[in-house]
Homo-oligomer: A and B are copies of this chain.
Amino acid sequence: MVIVMKPGATSLQVQHVVDLVNEYGLKDHVIYGTDRTVVACIGDKRSVDKGAIENAPMVEKIVPILAPYKMASLEVKQDKSEIEIGPNKFPIGGNKVGVIAGPCAVESRDQLLRTADAVKAAGCIGIRGGAYKPRTSPYSFQGLGEEGLKILAEARDNTGLAIVTEVIGVEQLDVVVHYADVLQIGARNMQHYPLLEAAGKVNKPVMLKRGMSATLDEFLLAAEYIINGGNKQVILCERGIRTYEKYVRNTLPLSVVPALNDRTHLPVIVDPSHGTGHAYMIPQVSAAAVAVGDAGVIIHPLLDR
């Protein structure tokens, strides 16, 4: 952490900042530049209250140097994690490319079993489908609940596909863990900490989707919550971010894949369906997602009409 003082900061004001820094157990290192004095801080800054320093007199800004996450980082664990999913233990994060496909929501037994057969026949390794749906509108279909989970389990029994399904609250966690192979935590819940903490206590892989406007630090800190709780099986899923663009539902920033691979040992997969919102783009954007990631699993809802 580097603290930049405004021009004209007095030595007393610099000392005040140094005192604050020492109070947090950090060693200070003051550098007098031509235009600015900066205070470099050495030590673990993870618990420092930045606001208190940032609002001290004549402080211009604080510049973080270290990433705020730890157990998700490549520095702590240099070899890439492989996470096995489903009855056939397909390894996510290794050199194989696998595809998980399926509808947005489980709507009926017939719909899902037919879809599962098609997904299996197409060579996919998992099926996705929501039994509990996080709906923007209270007037939309909210999912079949446990009934939907049972249908998914039946599809797994028939096909050997891994079941990936969303858990939208702590209340549903137990029942979803009972049936699913991979728990999905959706973009809107990426920073719902009670759910992240609870997911840290279960023994099932978690697919954590990036929040709609999450930074990489926030994304990896959300993963850190789960790992910190005790569950190391976290799969990161990029699903697009919200920008000013209107020809897609979300802007899919594929550079995130090498950026994450440069920072974390966790496997990264891509969701081109939510990342574009248009069926006609899926084949090409999926190809790009494979190309950018060396290995990776692509998730996309089938359009079953």
Contact = CB atoms under 8 A, between A and B. Distances in A.
Copies in the complex: 4
A7 interface: yes
Nearest to A142: B193
Output the residue of A29, A141, A228 with the most chain B CB within 10 A.
Answer: A29
A187 to B, nearest CB: 9
A109 interface: no
A188 B218 CA distance: 12
Contacts of A280: 258, 262
Contact of A251 (B193, B243, B281): B243
A255 B241 contact: no
B293 A291 contact: no
A153 interface: no
B252 A255 contact: yes
A169 interface: yes
A253 B251 contact: yes
A214 to B, nearest CB: 9
Contacts of A278: 259
Contact of A169 (B33, B104, B170): B170
27 contacts: A34-B42, A46-B137, A46-B140, A47-B139, A52-B305, A55-B303, A68-B139, A69-B137, A137-B224, A138-B224, A138-B225, A170-B171, A171-B194, A188-B191, A188-B192, A192-B192, A212-B213, A213-B242, A241-B244, A247-B259, A248-B253, A252-B255, A258-B281, A258-B284, A287-B291, A287-B292, A288-B292
Interface of A: 2, 4, 7, 29, 31, 33-36, 38, 40, 42-44, 46-47, 51-52, 55-56, 63, 65-66, 68-70, 75, 104, 134-141, 168-171, 188-189, 191-195, 212-213, 215-218, 221, 224-225, 228, 241-248, 251-259, 262, 275-276, 278-281, 284-285, 287-294, 303, 305
